[in-house]
Structure 1
């Protein structure tokens, strides 16, 4: 049923207010490029190739971190912690660098295109946007950052194994070959989808809290 015009206008006004709160909130994010930070502390060579760096710490460049390290600025108002409550404690996953990265992505999207009440905008961005293809390639880093994520994707992985266990799926191959082949072909997509789902949940939760703030005026 179409909404009355005055209701549609009110919803648009609310969406604009939510965007405004998001624009203000993103000011309080401190975003640092991971590679730059690694160069600062001598894990990667800084500047020209002739500059010395600690090769023994090179192993630390293989990390479980996202491409940007996101934190709240030291002088951020207490209200920002309320908006981020679902980021640092959702009852299952405590805060880790990826959850803060997802929050930053969600806030940027909300500030640009409006509320993400079901998380679909953020999910689509994380799963499909070409600008962060490198993030999808490194999805195992997302999984490694918090072992509890294995519990969240356990059912998806079990489904991959179950499908591969069907002898009719690939006749003539051993079960080990079928499982290995099925995981090799589908594991990367499974991790990306799970990662995008987590990002979507954070975006929806943040939108809800921004909505509450906007309604209070």
Structure 2
């Protein structure tokens, strides 16, 4: 029996040693992102309530603690390994949460902070709605395009392979859309009140909201009306 501990900052970074474990029945703690569950499904993993392999991003989860206390195998994401002392335990939450003075990161902004360039593959309606000129592809970092393409492909595959996903409609997803929107609003409001944002949570909630947009667009695409490209263009 094994626990696969993913880095909550980089949950898609699957440990190589974990791959052979993820081809059968797998269970998850509740916080593991759905997109990671889809990736594991592509490896052959079948989601069940309880399995010998438990995937998590939370080392303090009760299930995780109980299983580790039973001396089950722990397979950690490479970014969580301690280079000089691999057998050391992860830092406690209290230590990890200790105040630090981070360096000011340099943020690359597509288009150098403004939108400009030639109109590319659009129509007059889209230009009128956007109210601005489209960027050229070369102004968008390749890594951003790669991530977006992966997200779109993953959503399309989910609606082809996932029984639950195939049953969803625009109406059935409304509850999730409202929940994700409210959670994003809470993070923003908390940041405004505190004078600074929890950047990791803000990114996470935005990704949850993006998942909803991708989901609705792919449902419409299956009806033959429009896809995520039309949504982005509009």
What TM-score comes out, normalization by structure 2 length? 0.24
Higher RCO (Cα < 8 Å, 6 or more apart): 1
Greater helix percent: which structure? 1
What TM-score comes out, normalization by structure 1 length? 0.25
